[in-house]
A and B are shown apart, each in its own frame.
Chain A
Amino acid sequence: MAVAAGFMPACFGFEKCMNLSTQVSFLTNGMRHTITVPSMKRLLDVLREDLGLTGTKEGCGEGECGACTVLLDGLLVLACMVPICQVQNKSVKTIEGLSGDGSLHKVQQAFYENGGAQCGICTPGMIVSAAYYLQHPDEAEDIREALAGNQCRCTGYMKILESVKAAWPR
């Protein structure tokens, strides 16, 4: 762990811990990656630029639209709000890895069959949230609440709700 070139630490003894760049090792969709990037680089940018996984989208950069929703150690998070230094040794799952084996996850299938996607930009985040909710239905009172953090400007949400219901385990 090296000091970033040109950085003057304001203290004595912590130089070697103060990192502008970090080597981070983590799993994404089951695959291990080890990269060296600025410590505070957003997970969103690491996914899209360093790993070439552009399925996760940026809609606002403020943690409001939900287009960048991914799973971090199984929890629903916004990739634009997670600095990569906090992903060390963790496991990330994105839309690209949702099904695990290359086939369609049942939520993806349901969105496809029920018109849950129109322009598609909110869709990856929406599907990740929906898949999470189906695994943890006790975490919200209903589907609308569960998806309140994923904004869609195209559908009016009706067909998204139908898609989620269609994917509900029987």
Chain B
Amino acid sequence: MHGLHENFGIGESSVATVNDFPVITPQSLDEALDVLASVQNVRPLAGGTDLMVLLESGALRPCTFLNIQELPELKSPDGMTALTTYRDIRASHWKTRFPMLAAAAREVGALAIQSRGTWIGNVANASPAADGVPALMAYDAELEIARKGERRRVPLANFYRGYKQMDLRPDELITEIHLPSPSPGFVEYFRKVGARRFQAISKTLLAGRIRFAADSTIADIRLVFASVAPFTLRAFQTEALLRGRPLTQESIADAAKAIQDEIRPIDDIRSTEAYRRRVTANLLRDFLEGLIT
């Protein structure tokens, strides 16, 4: 849904249409991984909320779609699998344990998108403006990645290497997201800045969590931003600057300055670098200043 402006390298003389995309619908996860291992140019297809838009625009290079919607191993009511949608999370126990996930899900498109769009699809689409990724990253999400004969886990915070570059091989499928139980005492903040209230691609976004020690210094903190870097940005350096310090006007001012060095916002069709810089700092301040006691 975000990536129409992103050209998948289709030359001007070529445009792919519906007839250029065969589909394989495996009946088991093993079969799916077999396909990924032996067939060239395969893309997993779950809810389709990103891929269908790209396909319709003609910008998608012809490929074979691996329709994973029927995989029994992924139909898990409790886990967060490759088929778990935003809607699945807005209801249920997830809301109590991981409130930011519900907050993020609410900001994705509108209801009809939320019933189809998947969290893992959001991760794999790797848009820097992804709405689901920041909250997952703030909860220290780990991706379970499968290929034929192998499983591995990657922290989401380490998953992105560059614009649309991730630690994912063409023969791999992200099957599940694991979220460690959150420690008690975290205060959370989620705010997406868009051109209108819903149905907007973010100009900037902060998913933040903070926990204080008994002496009121910052025991632990997560600051994750969207749309201000080539990928979802975990602001490790600004976090490090704050960890162990008390929350004061001074430490907040330092953090607001430090974040400017970590983010790399740009001018684009939706907004400006200047706006993103200033509003990102405002989000950080809005989060932290509200907590000074």
Residues on A close to B: CB < 8 A?
A: 4, 7, 9-14, 17-20, 22, 38-42, 61-64, 66, 69, 75-78, 80-83, 85-86, 88, 129, 132-133, 138-140, 145-146, 148-150
Contact = CB atoms under 8 A, between A and B. Distances in A.
Interface in B81-135: 87, 90-91, 109-113, 115-116
B48 A83 contact: yes
Contacts of A133: 111
B21 interface: yes
A38 B62 CA distance: 14
Contact of B39 (A10, A129, A139): A10
B271 interface: no
Nearest to B111: A76
A81 to B, nearest CB: 4
B22 to A, nearest CB: 5
B187 to A, nearest CB: 22
Nearest to B47: A81
A39 B82 CA distance: 21
A57 B165 CA distance: 37
10 A-B pairs with least C-beta separation: A149-B110, A39-B23, A148-B198, A75-B115, A10-B40, A11-B39, A81-B52, A76-B112, A40-B21, A18-B22
A83 B46 CA distance: 10
Given A78-B113, A132-B111, A7 B22 contact: yes
B112 A78 contact: yes
A61 B112 contact: no
A75 B112 CA distance: 8
Contacts of A83: 23, 45, 48, 52, 65, 67
B38 A11 contact: yes
A149 B22 contact: no
Given A76-B112, A146-B111, A149-B113, A63 B52 contact: yes
B64 interface: yes
A148 B199 contact: yes
B23 A40 contact: yes
Contacts, number: 128
B166 interface: no
Contacts of A78: 112-113, 116
Contacts of B56: 42, 61-62, 80
B9 to A, nearest CB: 19
A81 B53 contact: yes
Contact of B24 (A17, A69, A81): A17
A66 B110 CA distance: 9
A26 to B, nearest CB: 14
B141 interface: no
B18 A149 contact: no
Given A42-B56, A63-B52, A148-B197, A19 B22 contact: yes
A148 B112 CA distance: 10
Which of B19, B112, B116 has the largest number of chain A CB atoms within 10 A? B112
B198 A145 contact: yes
Nearest to A146: B111
B192 to A, nearest CB: 14
Nearest to B31: A17
B49 interface: yes
Contacts of A41: 18
Contacts of B35: 11, 14, 17
Contacts of A13: 38
A40 B25 CA distance: 12
Contacts of A86: 45, 48, 67, 69
Contact of A85 (B4, B23, B26, B116): B23
Contact of B55 (A11, A40, A149): A40
Interface string B36-79: 00111100010111001101110000001101010000000000
B52 A42 contact: yes
B23 to A, nearest CB: 4
B25 to A, nearest CB: 7
Which of B26, B57, B109 has the largest number of chain A CB atoms within 10 A? B109
Contacts of B91: 138-139
A77 B116 contact: yes
Contacts of B52: 42, 63, 80-83
